């Protein structure tokens, strides 16, 4: 009898402690995971690029389930761009999306000793990089008529602006995505007459960064897609930087059957001011002839 009451007494003494520990555990479980703000995203993006330049995946804050692609092909840590990209080029732009915990780098890097135009998107989960999507601009295969080759010199001459947009010129997240999608739809419809664009764009120099985007947003270039491009497939908008007024749009220009020009995957950076497209910068990769229409991410 004495032992039973002694055990009960111990249990009653421990009960408040157990309840307290349970409450703490429940509270911890209820806490949302710590997010990654703009400063966090910038730190992770810069750290990731620095690790690539050092050819050292272990120096990057990668998650256990990290996935990376290079022009639609999955790349293992230490392979591909980890081997031959060595540093930044003259143009460096970073875009940060705290709401989606994503960031992007657009500009030039040194690859095999030469300036190379690239776009890199990262996705962050638990303050570690779970995804890295590289689009390395390259020329089309021989005989792909009408295609545009990358021009690092054009990007150096006309780089995207750095910094943030004036508060009075910023658009909402909804508008940024809508306007970028409007552009994609205009390409598909071969009609840009209704795109909201900067009325002064005709006075600006072009073309920009490997594609005649100034002509596009001035409404006089969409006819080139008629009979050539039938769809802007697999569209997505993974990075929306409301402070910079820039949205990253990803899509595949899908050609009509029998057209000799290759399908091409694009990362398009839309600069929007006062709900108008002011500029577009592009990095594009031509899919091999006969390959499926893919970005490498539609099934992830």
Q: In this predicted model, what pLDDT tens digit does every residue of 212-264 receive, in sequence order? A: 354 455 655 677 888 999 999 999 999 999 999 999 999 999 999 999 999 99
Asked whether residue 1 carries a pLDDT value surpassing 50, the answer given is no
| Bridge partners, 74 (sequence order) | 69
**Average pLDDT of the chain, as a whole number:** 85
Opening angle at CA 49, ends 44 and 55, nearest 5:
125
Please tell me the distance from the alpha carbon of residue 154 to that of residue 147, in angstroms, as a whole number.
16
The predicted-structure confidence for 172-202, as pLDDT tens digits, reads as follows 999 999 999 998 998 899 887 777 666 665 5
Q: Say if residue 42 is exposed, middle or buried (CB neighbours under 10 Å; 0-12, 13-18, 19+).
A: middle
Q: How many CB atoms are closer than 10 A to CB 240?
A: 26
Q: What pLDDT does residue 250 have?
A: 98
Structural domains in the chain, CATH included, are 38-136 (3.10.450.50), 152-286 (3.10.450.50)
What is the number of alpha carbons within 13 Å of residue 12 lying toward its C-beta?
6
Among candidate residues 37, 25, 157, 177, the one with its CA nearest the CA of residue 103: 37
The predicted-structure confidence for 67-90, as pLDDT tens digits, reads as follows 999 999 999 999 999 999 999 999
Mean pLDDT throughout 116-134? 97
Please tell me the distance from the alpha carbon of residue 91 to that of residue 80, in angstroms, as a whole number.
22
Q: How many CB atoms are closer than 10 A to CB 70?
A: 20
Cis peptide before 207 (omega within 30 of 0): yes
Please tell me the distance from the alpha carbon of residue 217 to that of residue 192, in angstroms, as a whole number.
7
């Amino acid at each position: 009898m004495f032992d039973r009451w002694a055990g009960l007494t111990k249990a009653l003494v421990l009960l408040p402690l157990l309840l307290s520990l349970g409450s703490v555990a429940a509270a911890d479980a209820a806490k949302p995971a710590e997010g990654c703000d703009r400063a966090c995203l910038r730190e992770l993006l810069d750290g990731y690029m620095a690790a690539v330049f050092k050819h050292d995946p272990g120096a990057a804050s990668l998650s256990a389930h990290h996935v990376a692609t290079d022009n639609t092909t999955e790349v293992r840590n230490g392979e591909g761009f980890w081997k031959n990209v060595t540093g930044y080029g003259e143009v460096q732009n970073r875009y940060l999306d705290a709401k989606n915990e994503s960031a992007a780098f657009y500009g030039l890097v040194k690859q095999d000793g030469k300036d190379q135009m690239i776009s890199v998107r990262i996705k962050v989960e638990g303050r570690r990089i779970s995804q890295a999507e590289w689009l390395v601009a390259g020329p089309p295969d021989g005989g792909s008529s009408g295609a545009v080759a990358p021009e690092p010199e054009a990007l150096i001459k006309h780089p995207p602006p750095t910094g943030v947009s004036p508060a009075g010129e910023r658009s909402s997240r909804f508008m940024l995505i809508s306007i970028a999608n409007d552009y994609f739809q205009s390409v598909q419809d071969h009609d840009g007459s209704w795109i909201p664009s900067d009325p002064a764009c005709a006075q600006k120099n072009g073309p920009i960064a490997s594609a005649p985007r100034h002509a596009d947003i001035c409404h006089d270039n969409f006819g080139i897609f008629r009979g050539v491009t039938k769809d802007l497939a697999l569209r997505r908008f993974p990075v929306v930087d409301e402070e910079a007024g820039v949205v990253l749009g990803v899509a595949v220009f899908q050609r009509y059957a029998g057209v000799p020009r290759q399908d091409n995957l694009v990362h398009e950076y839309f600069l929007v001011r006062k709900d108008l497209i002011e500029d577009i910068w592009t990095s594009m990769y031509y899919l091999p002839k006969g390959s499926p229409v893919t970005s490498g991410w539609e099934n992830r």
